[in-house]
Structure 1
Amino acid sequence: MLNKIILINLFFFLLAIFSNFTENIDLRSIFGVSSESIKFIKSPWTIFTYMFLHEKLVHFALNMFFLFVSSKIFLKYLNNKELLNNYIMGGLFGAIFFILPNINFDLDNISLIGSSASILSILTTSVIFTPNYSFKIFEESNFSIKIKYIAVIIIFYSIFIPIISKNYGGLLAHFGGIFYGLIFVFLHKKNISKKSNANELKKKYEDDYDYNTRKKIEEIKLNKILEKISSSGYKSLTKKEKDTLKKISNS
């Protein structure tokens, strides 16, 4: 999923480069979110497309680097579906935070592009789940740094630079991405808590014999699946076996 997201960003970036050689194509007005509510209503698709569009090489390269690093850490503990959820919803919240102030205030007509809000959502989620996760800057060195310190630098940069450049729309979008990251973590932990309570309730109404029998059957199934993975790899499992493995792992 990460590779697909990066490829879509790359496609839009190459499209932006191509548009530089033409006079009649303004990609920012086609795919960027406008601060004017009337223009936005006429182009509702921009709330999705803006988060994939970059016009400058530095903007594109930095965002893809931060996306790659934060997503790799994210995927160590969460799955591809949740990564896509964070990217899209973080981007949507970024757009909402960008658009809403313009309903009440007559701000200059500007447009929002870039994946920063989406990346900040993924980064926020990753940091809260794994604040002490460390990685080496260089493989051969012994120096490592915790992700929470990297996150502080990136978030500070994401807030400080828009203020310096007076890009207040971008600043609001960044806050939107961070905000959704916090929402995602809250909902995810709440969901885990519900599953845990459901399992405890299930155990409560099972007598010892039924519980032990069920666990024994699950153990036999699990051992067979693990043997198959060991000999033929995870890809050799059928859909039913994958579902069984996931169900037993979550029980």
Structure 2
Amino acid sequence: MTSIFDDIRHAFTRGSNAVTQLILINVIVFVSLILVRTISFLTGFSSVYDLITLNLGMPAHILRFLFKPWTIITYFFTHEQFLHIIFNMLNLYWFGQLIREYLGNKKLVSLYMLGGLAGGLLYLLFYNLIPYFEHRAAFSIMIGASASVLAIIVAAATLLPDYTFNLILLGPVRIKYIAAFLVVLSISGAVGDNAGGNIAHLGGAVIGFIFIKQLQRGTDLGKPIHAVNDFFQGLFSGRPRMKATFNRTNATGAAAAGTASRPNQSEIDLILDKISASGYESLTKEEKQKLFRASQK
């Protein structure tokens, strides 16, 4: 048991794989809820579990949400059903690895967070502005990482539309078709029993597409997420901020060298186009190095 906790601790303190970290957070919350539910029901205090889930899930009614604004974040780390979390985590692993490999950890985390936020906002808008959904708003609560995960799926399909996965019974399938199928599935379910969840999926899908298109134009929509993440990492790491000083005689040369080492957006766009057309393995060693340096910005 100690080794499990050590592995989890190392994943966050020493690891640099954002896919693993996001999956671990979801799994830890899921297992914690299972334990709380089991203990609370066995001891006759089931209301404790209900209270916790009510404060993690995102309410549809705008007034209830205003009293629980944190739920627009906690909902996309919360699952109750085993199949729900398995499906989401498998997709997060498969498609998240692609985003991480080509764009880096920071942009993966940005996509996950922005997808969840966009899904939550669209959920609120639909349930409070469209008459068809208004009667459901009073008792609807949403949980699950599906909006965040679909943002990552659509982003991967926008970035690498012809990349293929080998699916059981189907064989090789381009990920643009997988993404399109999931989007159509969400549209078809927007008026069903899980209408709120499917609406949130669409919010995530839209932000995934926009994120990549804006990134290809040189705009990183994830900068606010990076800033918040860096702030909290610095806050909890306990490490003092480093202050750099420069020798005036060498400052100009060093700046020029630093600038030269970073590929510009037009170079990255050409590399991404080449990946879309011929796959990652078609890149030269120099192009792979440029892509890696760009992902660290």
TM-score (norm. length: structure 1): 0.71
2:197 aligned residue:
170
2:184 aligned residue:
156
Equivalents in 1 of 2:205, 2:172: separation in Å? 25
Residue 31 (1) aligns with residue 56 (2): yes
1:181 aligned residue:
208
Equivalents in 2 of 1:92, 1:188: separation in Å? 18
1:4 aligned residue:
21
Alignment map for 1:71-220 (pairs within 5 Å)? 71-104=96-129, 105=131, 106-108=134-136, 109-137=139-167, 143-161=171-189, 163-165=191-193, 167-191=194-218
Q: Deviations over 1:98-148 (max 9, x none)?
A: 01233334332200100000011111110011011123347xx9x432212
Equivalents in 2 of 1:5, 1:149: separation in Å? 25
1:63 aligned residue:
88
Residue 246 (1) aligns with residue 293 (2): yes
1:18 aligned residue:
35
Unaligned runs of 5+ in 1: 193-213, 220-241
Residue 161 of structure 1: how far off its partner (Å): 4.5
Amino acid in the other structure paired with 1:157: L
SS of residue in 2 equivalent to 1:173: helix
Amino acid in the other structure paired with 2:35: F
Unaligned runs of 5+ in 2: 1-17, 41-45, 220-255, 262-288
Residue 157 of structure 1: how far off its partner (Å): 3.4
Q: Deviations over 1:201-234 (max 9, x none)?
A: xxxxxxxxxxxxx89xx69xxxxxxxxxxxxxxx
Equivalents in 1 of 2:149, 2:117: separation in Å? 12
Amino acid in the other structure paired with 1:147: I
TM-score (norm. length: structure 2): 0.61
Amino acid in the other structure paired with 2:30: F
Number of matched pairs: 200
- RMSD (Å), alpha carbons: 2.9
SS of residue in 1 equivalent to 2:23: helix
Q: Which moved more, 1:106-115 or 1:80-89?
A: 106-115
SS of residue in 2 equivalent to 1:71: helix
Residue 158 of structure 1: how far off its partner (Å): 3.4
Contact 2:183/2:202 (CA < 8 Å) preserved in 1? no
1:227 aligned residue:
none
Equivalents in 1 of 2:184, 2:197: separation in Å? 14
Equivalents in 2 of 1:154, 1:179: separation in Å? 12
Please identify the structure whose Cα radius of gyration is greater: 1
Amino acid in the other structure paired with 1:136: N
SS of residue in 1 equivalent to 2:150: helix
1:43 aligned residue:
68
Contact 2:186/2:202 (CA < 8 Å) preserved in 1? no
Equivalents in 2 of 1:9, 1:161: separation in Å? 24
Amino acid in the other structure paired with 2:203: G
Contact 2:147/2:202 (CA < 8 Å) preserved in 1? yes
Equivalents in 1 of 2:94, 2:108: separation in Å? 13
Equivalents in 2 of 1:246, 1:74: separation in Å? 15
2:283 aligned residue:
none
Return closer, same or farther for 1:113/1:146 CA change in 2, 3 Å cut-off. Answer: same
